[in-house]
Amino acid sequence: MKNIKYIIFDFDGTLADTLKFAIMISNRLSDRFNYKKITDDKLDDYRGMSAQELIKKSGIKYYKIPFVATQFKIEFKKVIDQLQAFPEIPTMLEELSKSFKIGILTSNAAENVNLFLKSNKLSDYITFVNSQSRLYGKHISLRKIMSKYNLQKDNIVYVGDETRDIEATKKIGIKSISVTWGFNTKKILKLFSPDFMVDSPKEIIELVKNI
């Protein structure tokens, strides 16, 4: 990782504390798209599931997922001014931006992310924001980023909070850092074998600079 030039972050659950808003919006859309609501007593169970298991448990039809995702982004824009970064994230981004290029690759809308960055005064630290709509399309987007910026596999690391983030990096052979403060639990993340796992943003600073 001494060759790392770009650090790419997921947004929801990694940089921004979005869980309660995501659940609120998901439950609001559940009747319209006919899938199960996430109740408080089942939340820990859901957090311990992979994306595939979560979809199966929710009962949503696969063909509906793109429509739900589109509506989700629309609803998310309505609460974007209420979102906050996790503690230590602003300091981490400021420090990392001194030595690395920082990007964001998210399933959320780029417009939403940019509004969040502006309201939280974080825009100056970010080189780009990329949005991708496919549930399992992050590996494709990561390849495009590598091509655009002429990056080799050892020049880039992806930081995320979900099992599907780990899966995306393994598909193209780049390093992954899993954070334990987001949606998926530490236990399920370990099962997917990320290259590194951290419990706080400050650990990322030490990791990418010293390994």
Query: Is residue 111 situated within a structural domain?
Result: yes
Residues 128 and 201 both lie in one domain: yes
- Report the distance separating Cα 183 and Cα 27, nearest Å: 16
Residues 95 and 11 both lie in one domain: yes
Segment 79-104 mean pLDDT: 96
The answer to whether the predicted template modeling score (pTM) of the entire model surpasses 0.75 is yes
Residues 112 and 166 both lie in one domain: yes
pLDDT-based confidence at 211, cuts 50/70/90? low
Q: What is the pLDDT of residue 187?
A: 96
Query: Is residue 1 situated within a structural domain?
Result: no
Could you report the per-residue pLDDT of 5-44, keeping only the tens digit for each? 999 999 999 999 999 999 999 999 999 999 999 999 999 9
Q: What is the pLDDT of residue 198?
A: 98
What is the span of the domain harbouring residue 55?
19-81
pLDDT-based confidence at 84, cuts 50/70/90? very high
* Residue 59: both structure tokens together: 């009962």
pLDDT for 135 beyond 90 = no
b/e 124-138 (16+ beta carbons within 10 angstroms → b): ebbeebbbbeeeeeb
Nearest to 9 by CA among 81, 108, 102: 102
Residues 114 and 160 both lie in one domain: yes
Query: Is residue 103 situated within a structural domain?
Result: yes
- Report the distance separating Cα 170 and Cα 163, nearest Å: 11
Of 63, 81, 99, which closes a domain? 81
Give alpha helix (H) positions in 34-177: 43-47, 51-58, 65-77, 89-96, 110-119, 138-148, 163-172
Segment 109-137 mean pLDDT: 91
76, burial (CB in 10 Å: exposed 0-12, middle 13-18, buried 19+): buried
pLDDT for 50 beyond 70 = yes
Residues 107 and 185 both lie in one domain: yes
Could you report the per-residue pLDDT of 56-68, keeping only the tens digit for each? 999 999 889 889 9
Into how many domains does the chain fold? 2
One-character DSSP codes across 29-57: HHHHHT-----GGGHHHHHTS-HHHHHHH
Residues 206 and 117 both lie in one domain: yes
Of 81, 104, 129, which closes a domain? 81
Identify the CATH number of the domain in which residue 157 sits: 3.40.50.1000
Q: Which residues pair with 101 in a beta bridge?
A: 6
Of 35, 52, 81, which closes a domain? 81
Query: Is residue 26 situated within a structural domain?
Result: yes
Residues 10 and 30 both lie in one domain: no
Residues 135 and 76 both lie in one domain: no
Residues 128 and 51 both lie in one domain: no
Query: Is residue 179 situated within a structural domain?
Result: yes
- The per-residue pLDDT of the chain, averaged, comes to 93
Residues 58 and 36 both lie in one domain: yes
Nearest to 159 by CA among 86, 208, 111: 208
Query: Is residue 55 situated within a structural domain?
Result: yes
Residues 153 and 202 both lie in one domain: yes
Residues 148 and 113 both lie in one domain: yes
Segment 49-74 mean pLDDT: 91
200-206, Cβ contacts within 8 angstroms, sequence gap of 24 or more: 200/88, 201/86, 201/87, 201/88, 201/89, 201/91, 201/92, 202/88, 202/91, 202/92, 204/7, 204/92, 204/96, 204/159, 204/177, 204/179, 205/92, 205/95, 205/96
**3-class state of residue 10 by DSSP:** coil
Could you report the per-residue pLDDT of 145-185, keeping only the tens digit for each? 999 999 999 999 999 999 999 999 999 999 999 999 999 99
